[in-house]
Amino acid sequence: MLVFGLENRLQDGNEDNLIEALVNTNQVLVNGAVIQLRLATDVFINGVLIPKATR
């Protein structure tokens, strides 16, 4: 699997460390801004279920 990372290049990905998410709304971003994401699938973090569609 290939993953686009913060380094502006494709890299080999490890699916165990990925969280699938979507950009939640149209947003104007500037340097240092926070981007709102919505989970595309359920994820477990430290044994806690975070449901799909959580923002």
Model confidence pLDDT, tens digit, residues 26-51: 888 888 888 888 888 898 888 899 99
User: What does each C-alpha distance from 39 to 3, 6, 7 come to in angstroms?
Assistant: 17, 19, 22
Average pLDDT, the chain: 77
Listed in order, strand segments (DSSP E) in the chain are 2-4, 10-12, 21-23, 37-39, 43-45, 48-50
Q: Quick one: what percent of the chain has pLDDT higher than 90?
A: 9
Domain boundaries, the chain: 20-55
